[in-house]
């Protein structure tokens, strides 16, 4: 179980000189840069900001200046968690509209509230990576292979990823001079140049000239949204979850409530738990789909609505859903990625970023070097998904857990189950690596990961589900600090073995 004990403290930001914190990222270079920031006295938010700009260079398949995202933050001084959302929304209602490049302004707002290191300093590592080049990581190489049919067909991505007539592979050097110049300009002039300066005007004009629509007014008026979060119950602790997709956010919060406040996942037997996960998932999808159909709104169910949706749950039998869920089968790929960090003062931050599609629109902002993102997919359509979780105790003020997940729709249930299993006492490495399941694509269908124990598959089939193997089940990374930060920094950091990420620390 996650602990929730300790004496409340008061006073200014406390720093342990023998401990700098840690970070986990889906892209290794960004994790190393995050650690350098922490080692230099930066906050967890500083580390994530520097990691984001690094990923915009080293992982453009999923993260970029043209995309968006969301972060969950634990503010130890206020004993509260909050969320900042900066989705890459459609720039207009025009059919040729592209997405607003939201992430730079979102990360600037995050840093303005929680940063310690000067913002411009956090951009320097990324600028250097773009200017002097960085070997293609295994993660990016896999993403390039995923899109190998389309990348050579588009001039921008062919120039970017196949400059010598063949697609880049691991360890090939990736140099991006235009992006380096853009990062340098934003560093010297300010992020505002992309939104209300000359760069914004130039970008708007160039997108229009290339056949798209990105009005200057959409850039000028774009503002990230801070959302104070009362959090969700996690035993004696509080969980705050940020999401890049509104439907996935509503679904994840609803399933969590169903499995912690309506039914007790940790009290169910190991044999029943996969059934309980599947049943709650299907009922959450059905209820949220009904809300969208009847009112046009997307939101999580209230506790009363969650109780109603789970009414009649039978531990021994699946109740047929009748309608397909608001998600695709077990599909995945690039288009979203995440990073999380914690520091010696007990600050926790977990962020997920997205380009709204693998490699965005596959087209670069002319002369600026970054890929442009398309508008978000309509609710229920297959799209990249990312979540960030922080967990803390309001009384002890300690932080206990961080997680981040990305991928397609399966990422949502993957991060939820991993967190639930840690709450249930499972080792965090085992919780992240164990075979996963997903609900999606067709009524009553459960997709299981290769390696799922035959006993689980048979149990689900016996209860009335249609069970099949899938290929992609998201990527989840997590940090578990059983005693609690910052009083004890014996934390376990785990990147997902399905990916190519890296966990780092200075302890």
pLDDT value of residue 329: 57
Instruction: Check: CB of residue 328 under 8 Å from CB of residue 440.
Output: yes
Domain ranges of the chain: 22-69+86-222+333-375
pLDDT value of residue 108: 98
The number of residues making up the chain comes to: 507
- What does the alpha-carbon distance between residue 401 and residue 237 come to, in Å, rounded to a whole number? 10
pLDDT value of residue 332: 65
Instruction: Check: CB of residue 98 under 8 Å from CB of residue 356.
Output: no
Enumerate residue ranges in the chain where pLDDT < 50.
1, 3-15, 330
- What does the alpha-carbon distance between residue 156 and residue 151 come to, in Å, rounded to a whole number? 8
pLDDT value of residue 331: 59
pLDDT in tens, 325-382: 666 654 567 899 999 999 999 999 999 999 999 999 999 999 999 999 999 988 767 7
- What does the alpha-carbon distance between residue 183 and residue 309 come to, in Å, rounded to a whole number? 49
pLDDT value of residue 3: 47
pTM to 2 decimal places = 0.94
pLDDT in tens, 446-505: 999 999 999 999 999 999 999 999 888 999 999 999 999 998 888 999 999 999 999 999
- What does the alpha-carbon distance between residue 315 and residue 296 come to, in Å, rounded to a whole number? 33
pLDDT value of residue 383: 81
Local structure of 175: helix, strand or coil: coil
What lies within 8 Å, CB to CB, of 451 at 6+ separation is 435
Q: Among residues 252, 274, 482, 487, which one has the least CA distance to residue 388?
A: 252
Q: Among residues 388, 404, 399, which one has the least CA distance to residue 480?
A: 399
């Amino acid at each position: 179980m996650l602990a929730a004990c300790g004496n409340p403290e008061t006073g200014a930001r406390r720093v342990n000189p023998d401990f700098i914190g840690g970070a986990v990222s889906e892209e290794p270079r960004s994790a190393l840069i995050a650690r350098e920031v922490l080692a230099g006295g930066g906050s967890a938010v500083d580390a994530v900001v520097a990691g984001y700009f690094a990923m915009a260079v080293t992982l453009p398949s999923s993260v970029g200046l043209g995309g968006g995202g969301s972060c969950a933050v634990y503010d130890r001084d206020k004993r509260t968690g909050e969320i900042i959302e900066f989705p890459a929304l459609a720039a207009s209602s025009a059919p040729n509209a592209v997405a607003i490049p939201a992430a730079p302004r979102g990360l600037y707002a995050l840093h303005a509230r929680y940063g310690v290191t000067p913002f411009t300093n956090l951009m320097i590592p990324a600028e250097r990576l773009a200017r002097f080049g960085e070997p293609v990581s295994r993660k990016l190489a896999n993403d390039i292979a995923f899109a190998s049919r389309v990348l050579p067909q588009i001039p921008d991505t062919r120039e970017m990823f196949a400059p010598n007539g063949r697609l880049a592979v691991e360890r090939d050097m990736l140099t991006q001079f235009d992006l380096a110049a853009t990062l340098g300009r934003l560093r010297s002039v300010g992020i505002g140049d992309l939104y209300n300066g000359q760069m914004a005007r130039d970008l708007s004009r160039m997108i229009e000239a290339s056949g798209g629509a990105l009005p200057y007014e959409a850039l000028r008026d774009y503002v990230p949204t801070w959302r104070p979060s009362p959090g969700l119950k996690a035993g004696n602790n509080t969980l705050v979850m940020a999401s890049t997709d509104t439907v996935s956010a509503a679904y994840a919060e609803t399933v969590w409530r169903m499995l912690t406040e309506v039914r007790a996942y940790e009290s169910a037997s190991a044999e029943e738990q996969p059934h309980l996960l599947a049943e709650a998932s299907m009922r959450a999808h059905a209820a949220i789909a009904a809300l969208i159909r009847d009112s046009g709104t997307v939101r999580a169910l209230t506790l009363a609505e969650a109780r109603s949706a789970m009414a009649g749950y039978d531990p021994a039998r699946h109740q047929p859903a009748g309608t397909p869920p608001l998600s695709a089968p077990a599909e995945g790929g690039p288009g979203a990625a995440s990073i999380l960090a914690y520091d010696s003062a007990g600050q926790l931050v977990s962020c997920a970023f997205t380009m709204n599609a693998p490699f965005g629109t596959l087209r670069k902002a002319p002369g600026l070097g970054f890929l442009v993102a398309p508008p978000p997919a309509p609710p229920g359509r297959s799209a990249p998904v990312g979540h960030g979780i922080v967990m803390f105790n309001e009384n002890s003020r300690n932080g206990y857990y961080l997680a981040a997940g990305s991928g397609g729709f399966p990422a949502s249930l993957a991060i939820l189950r991993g967190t639930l299993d840690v709450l249930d006492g499972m080792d965090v490495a085992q919780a992240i690596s164990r075979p996963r399941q997903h609900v999606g694509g067709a009524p009553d269908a459960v997709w299981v990961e290769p390696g799922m124990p035959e006993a689980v598959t048979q149990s689900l089939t016996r209860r009335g589900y249609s069970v099949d193997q899938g290929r992609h089940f998201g990527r989840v990374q997590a940090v578990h600090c059983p005693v609690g930060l910052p009083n004890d920094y014996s934390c376990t950091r785990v990147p997902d073995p399905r990916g190519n990420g890296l966990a780092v620390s200075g302890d």
